[in-house]
Amino acid sequence: NAGVTQTPKFQVLKTGQSMTLQCAQDMNHEYMSWYRQDPGMGLRLIHYSVGAGITDQGEVPNGYNVSRSTTEDFPLRLLSAAPSQTSVYFCASSPGLLGEQYFGPGTRLTVT
C-alpha cells in the first residue's frame, strides 16, 4: 500500500493563478481531509469529506474548492492564488471520524 500520496511536493504560483493539489489514498478510507500548516498555527482544516460525493467546509475554506468523485481521490483547488495561501498543505485519510488519521507527505506552496 502506498498510503496517502500527494502531488506535487513543491509548487510556486504567481498571484491570481489557479492550480489543483492532488491527493489519493489506497486504503479504502471514507474520511478524507485537507489541512494547511503555517508556522506557530498548527494544522487548520480547510475542507473534509465523509465519503464519495459528500464534502463540507472546515475552519478555513475560503479560496479553496474540493470534490470527491471517488473514494480514492480528494483534490484541492485553489481558484485564484493569493500570497496568504503560502503554506504547507497536508491531505489525510481515516477509516472514520474516530479513527487514526494518515497524513500524506505534504505540498509546500509558495505564492508570489
Partner 1 sequence: GQQVMQIPQYQHVQEGEDFTTYCNSSTTLSNIQWYKQRPGGHPVFLIQLVKSGEVKKQKRLTFQFGEAKKNSSLHITATQTTDVGTYFCAGLNNNAGNMLTFGGGTRLMVKP
Q: Which residues bind partner 1 (CB under 8 A)?
A: 33, 35, 40-45, 48, 50, 56, 58-59, 90, 92, 97-98, 100-106
Q: Which is nearer to partner 1, 17 or 108 (CB)?
A: 108
Q: Which is nearer to partner 1, 21 or 92 (CB)?
A: 92
Q: Which is nearer to partner 1, 8 or 16 (CB)?
A: 8
> Is-contact 109 13, C-beta < 8 A?
yes
What is the C-alpha to C-alpha distance for residues 33 and 93, in angstroms, rounded to an integer?
Answer: 6
